[in-house]
């Protein structure tokens, strides 16, 4: 019930195209959904996040679409650039009894944007 | 940079060696984490410390021993590791409570067990 399923595992997109990564979850206690971007040799870094009370959030070329009834959310990268080539992780967060928040990650999508 | 540093960045060790990984956060956070990142697998949470107290140990083998001497430093002591322990070990920190949700990650230590 704590899993977050992410697809595809890898993605190749032409420069200027749209990259779409999908995630699905089961646990309805999740109340915060961040996306992390990881470049080789670096740790994951928060890219954009959404709460389930909104259906879409946009920051620059990055958009999260959220479907609460389907328990699915996705990341769209518009006008994809070679510099966007990285591994992307979706995640879902839930509060715990200890007061901290647990973060459950998807398995990651390796995005390659070809020039 | 995220404000979380890790040393060393790369480590090669034999199965009989003892080594330690170090993490330091400069963000004033009160929670620190160790994650294991293996190829094609989700990040695996290993340990959680809140205000220097270990609050979670996700069934991690005893050959991994964490230490948190203060809220800014976190260590992972390694001994008699197995080749399958080769992975990227990530440290993260967060400011728990008060509605803060983000975890900030260090660059990781790439560990190879021979």
Residue pLDDT, tens place only, B2-20: 799 999 999 999 988 899 9
* Averaged pLDDT for residues A49-65: 95
Per-residue pLDDT tens over the stretch A2-56 = 689 999 999 999 999 999 999 999 999 899 999 999 998 889 999 999 998 999 9
Q: State the Cα–Cα distance between residues B50 and B53, nearest whole angstrom.
A: 5
Measured in angstroms, the CA of A103 and the nearest CA of chain B are apart by: 9
pLDDT band at B100 (very low <50, low <70, confident <90, very high): low
Closest residue, chain B, to A106 (C-alpha)? B42
Residue B81 pLDDT greater than 80, yes or no: yes
Distance between CA atoms of B91 and B106, rounded to whole angstroms? 5
Does A99 have pLDDT greater than 80? Answer: no
Cβ distance of A4 and B42 shorter than 8 Å: yes
Give the residue-averaged pLDDT of B34-40: 89
**CA A26, CA A38: separation in Å to the nearest integer?**
25
A60–chain B nearest CA distance, Å: 20
DSSP character at residue B51: T
Picking from A4, A32, A89, the nearest residue to B101 by CB comes out as A32
B99 — pLDDT class (breaks 50, 70, 90): low
In angstroms, what separates the C-alpha of B17 from chain A's closest C-alpha?
A: 25
Mean pLDDT, rounded, of chain A: 92
Mean pLDDT, residues B30-45 taken together: 88
B97 interfaces chain A, CB cutoff of 8 Å: yes
Q: How far apart are CA A6 and CA A73, in angstroms?
A: 10
pLDDT at A91: 94
- Average pLDDT estimate for B63-76: 93
Tell me: pLDDT of A1 over 60.
no
Residue of chain A minimizing CA distance to B91 = A43
- Is residue B80's pLDDT more than 70? yes
Within an 8 Å CB–CB cutoff, is residue B94 touching chain A? yes
Which residue in the block uniquely carries the two structure tokens 């410390």? B49
Which of B39, B43, B45, B93 to substitute to test the interface with A, most A CBs within 10 Å?
B43
3-state helix, strand, coil in chain A (%, to 5): 5, 55, 40
What residues of A are in contact with residue B105 (Cβ under 8 Å)? Answer: 36, 43-45
Mean pLDDT of chain B, nearest integer: 89
Query: Percent of chain A beyond pLDDT 70?
Result: 96
The pLDDT confidence band at residue B67, using thresholds 50, 70 and 90, is very high
Among the residue ranges A11-15, B76-80, B95-99, B104-108, the one predicted with the least confidence is B95-99
Contact B45 A4 (CB under 8 A): no
The whole-number pLDDT of residue B98 equals 54
B28 token code pair: 């004033």
- Verify whether the Cβ–Cβ distance A34 to B102 is below 8 Å: yes
Q: Residues A43, B4: contact at Cβ < 8 Å?
A: yes
**B105 in contact with chain A, both atoms CB, cutoff 8 A:** yes
């Amino acid at each position: 019930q704590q899993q977050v399923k992410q697809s595809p595992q890898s993605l190749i997109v032409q420069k200027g195209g749209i990259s779409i990564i999908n995630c699905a979850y089961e646990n309805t206690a999740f109340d915060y959904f961040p996306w992390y971007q990881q470049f080789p040799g670096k740790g994951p870094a928060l890219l954009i996040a959404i709460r389930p009370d909104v259906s879409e959030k946009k920051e620059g070329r990055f958009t999260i679409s959220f479907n609460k009834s389907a328990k699915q959310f996705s990341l769209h990268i518009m006008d994809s650039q070679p510099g966007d080539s990285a591994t992307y992780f979706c995640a879902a967060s839930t509060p715990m009894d200890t007061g901290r928040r647990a973060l459950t990650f998807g398995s990651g999508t390796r995005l390659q944007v070809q020039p | 940079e995220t404000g979380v540093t890790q040393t060393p960045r790369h480590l090669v060790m034999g199965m009989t060696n003892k080594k330690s990984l170090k993490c330091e956060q400069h963000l004033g956070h009160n929670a620190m984490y160790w994650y294991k990142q293996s190829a094609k697998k989700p990040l695996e949470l290993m340990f959680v410390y809140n205000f220097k107290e270990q609050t979670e140990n996700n069934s991690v083998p005893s050959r991994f021993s964490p230490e948190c001497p203060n809220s800014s430093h976190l260590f992972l002591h390694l001994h008699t590791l197995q080749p399958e322990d080769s992975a990227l070990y990530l440290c993260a920190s967060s400011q728990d409570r008060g509605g803060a949700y983000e975890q900030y990650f260090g660059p990781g230590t790439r560990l190879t067990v021979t």
